[in-house]
Structure 1
């Protein structure tokens, strides 16, 4: 435990470097099937490196562009809702007075659910993400280096099966689980984002593209990602269209996410993660503390990597595998 604390605080001190490096690793793992397909087609080595690399770069550039433009629009839009918020406050105070509630209780509740604070939190989150993605040069260089080393790394791991078979198997399993988790989560995240954007557009909520991108990003955050993606558009709907519009936004988000996340996603994802609900939530807290907002998004891949290195590679750690996965060990 002491060693874990030292390591985590050490990573936290270099989070500006560790975060982009881990993100680059996850992106390389995500596009590795493209390299495998090109290798099976006997494509030149330079093409096996260039195509996955360009896919990653284009995705990063697209995310940076959308987030930067949308965050700028949000920053210019928020000050225009000052009058609406004051009107909502006055209406709430009148309603509280007619129902026998004190203004002190109402003010405390409004301070806790101040839309300006929530939208300000979103601005902070977007700013952090833009800050990470703006280190594009570092991420691109690391992705290129990893892409160039991928064929050699595969051969090195293959030759190590005789000396450390458990470790080689654990790392291979980590790559497979991470890739499946990313692909399935991205597909369903895109579906959720598109449906959310359609619903917000029909309800005339401003900046539907921004909230769609936010829904896609928060889809990678376990347990609380749905709430983070819902609060900002709901608060903006309250300021722009009133309570009825806010309730319609909440209802639309709940219906879309419950159908996809609760009924459809588990059938495709299955046991790909291999982490219990408790371990997933603890992972979210720990990696957010260590790497900030990027740690929340990468919590599952980072936990899978930690499990591969410390648990799955140890033949005597069957009990620990059962503990983190929430499943009884096979007899």
Structure 2
């Protein structure tokens, strides 16, 4: 028997969709270890795939284009991995010293607060928590070797699939409306990811240069961290600016910490409020409330990696919902035409 959900009442629809969302959420969370490499592989594939088509337009044969892009992809990830493996162990080995320095700084700062102020007793604990948070974040990146290996291999196979698109296109032509909606969704998603990656690259390089000029230790490491965390709206900036601000505090005192924070904050302000809107336009805007909810949701489902791709995943969900709504409208229009 064919069940048409559109004939149900609004309350019934809400209940059915809510139950489906809960079941889907639980299912995705249970297989998060499988979904994370897949999602990230598709995410990275969408970044590098346009390079293949660009090389083809320049007259380079398809096979050679794919080979060059795969080689470039491997070089980028290998180079980033080498830098992380070089700097992360050095930083983590100094974390106990940083904790001591931060506790001393917080205790000295507490001396300027009024006697009996509740914050006075919490400052040292806050300092230890901040350093521990930074250490945990970097350790997570360092221990992601197996997952990164799966992502690299899967991404390479996805790039190789571009060489044999004929069968896929032949099947897709049988469903022109679906093909049109899929192309529209894919182009918007690719545009967002490519633009976001370029903006993050500018931010990461800019932050590294600022910190290098300021004499802050591990400037390249914090530049890479700024690039990666740039995919997390709002929260990513504070997570990225925290470690170099602390190092500025150790090296130059309160004035140095403020200078580091303000310099990177101004850079982020320029990038997020001027550069990104001018390049991306209004087509990629999501309400702040939706972004915040999506961060919580995808972090709950996929863990910390979910925060990095929360916005692209939410854009996919939004486009699918819009597409299904458009499809439903067309179906109803056709049915009304038949009745007339």
Of 131, 140, 157, 1:119 maps to: 131
1:25 deviates by 0.8
Of 146, 159, 162, 2:158 maps to: 146
CA 1:210–1:119: 2 relative to 1, 3 Å: farther
CA-atom RMSD, angstroms? 2.5
Of 192, 210, 217, 2:228 maps to: 217
Tell me the distance in 1 between the aligned counterparts of 2:166 and 2:224. 34
Secondary structure of the structure 1 residue equivalent to 2:238? helix
Q: Are 1:250 and 2:261 matched, yes or no? A: yes
Q: How does 1:1-331 map to 2 (within 5 A)?
A: 1-40=18-57, 43-96=60-113, 100-102=114-116, 104-111=118-125, 113-114=126-127, 116-153=128-165, 156-157=168-169, 159-163=171-175, 165=177, 167-315=178-326
Greater Cα shift, 156-165 or 241-250: 156-165
Under a length normalisation based on structure 1, what TM-score does the superposition of the two structures give? 0.84
Task: Give 5+ residue unaligned stretches, structure 2.
Answer: 1-17, 330-340
Tell me the distance in 2 between the aligned counterparts of 1:161 and 1:307. 24
Tell me the distance in 1 between the aligned counterparts of 2:28 and 2:84. 26
CA 1:289–1:76: 2 relative to 1, 3 Å: same
CA 1:25–1:12: 2 relative to 1, 3 Å: same
Say if 2:106 and 2:123, in contact at 8 Å, map to a contact too.
no
Task: Give 5+ residue unaligned stretches, structure 1.
Answer: 319-331
Secondary structure of the structure 2 residue equivalent to 1:87? helix
Deviation per residue, 1:284-321 (Å, 9 max, x gap)? 11111111222111112212222333432442578xxx
1:83 deviates by 4.2
Under a length normalisation based on structure 2, what TM-score does the superposition of the two structures give? 0.82
Say if 1:171 and 1:308, in contact at 8 Å, map to a contact too.
no
Tell me the distance in 2 between the aligned counterparts of 1:250 and 1:154. 52
CA 1:217–1:82: 2 relative to 1, 3 Å: closer
The structure that has the greater radius of gyration is: 2
1:69 deviates by 2.3
Deviation per residue, 1:249-294 (Å, 9 max, x gap)? 1110121111221122201011342432222222111111111222
Say if 2:107 and 2:124, in contact at 8 Å, map to a contact too.
no
Tell me the distance in 2 between the aligned counterparts of 1:71 and 1:188. 24
Say if 2:172 and 2:179, in contact at 8 Å, map to a contact too.
yes
CA 1:231–1:181: 2 relative to 1, 3 Å: same
Say if 1:84 and 1:240, in contact at 8 Å, map to a contact too.
no
Secondary structure of the structure 2 residue equivalent to 1:95? coil
Secondary structure of the structure 1 residue equivalent to 2:231? coil
